[in-house]
Structure 1
């Protein structure tokens, strides 16, 4: 199995939902539904904004790839 990408600890930037949606091609509504179901990481709240660590997205994508190849 190949992983989508790897990050070192210095590349673990905070990303927003616009980035996640653009990166994956999935809608923000779909991701918020997954968050509500506990199937996608909860955001880090910074004031009124929500951010995720890039590593959380990559780890989630790798888990999705593993599950789909079974």
Structure 2
């Protein structure tokens, strides 16, 4: 009988966390965009910005999701 090895992290979890797509915080987002955290939290409440990943009392986002959101805003504003 084979017993599962509980000491190893699952492959799915390993692929979710990688240096190529780090988790970023609101300070990074506001510094990068020049917009306020209040504005982003309103967008989140309105369903117009990716929901945060809650880690305790902290909120984080995948950098790729934020970058995709910004690219879409640029395309929308230019009529692409």
Q: What band does the TM-score fall into relative to the shorter chain? A: 0.7 to 0.9
Does the residue aligned with 2:60 lie in a helix, a strand or coil? strand
Q: How many residues align?
A: 62
5+ residue gaps, structure 1, are 1-8
Q: Pick from 51, 63, 66: which aligns with 2:72? A: 63
Alignment of 1:1-70 (within 5 A): 10-70=19-79
Secondary structure class of the residue paired with 1:11: coil
The structure with higher relative contact order (CA 8 Å, sep 6+) is: 1
TM-score calculated relative to the size of structure 1: 0.85
The structure with the largest alpha-carbon Rg is: 2
* Structure 1 segments of 4+ aligned residues over 6 angstroms from their partners: none
C-alpha distance after superposition, 1:15-46 (max 9, x if no partner) = 00000000000000000000000000000000
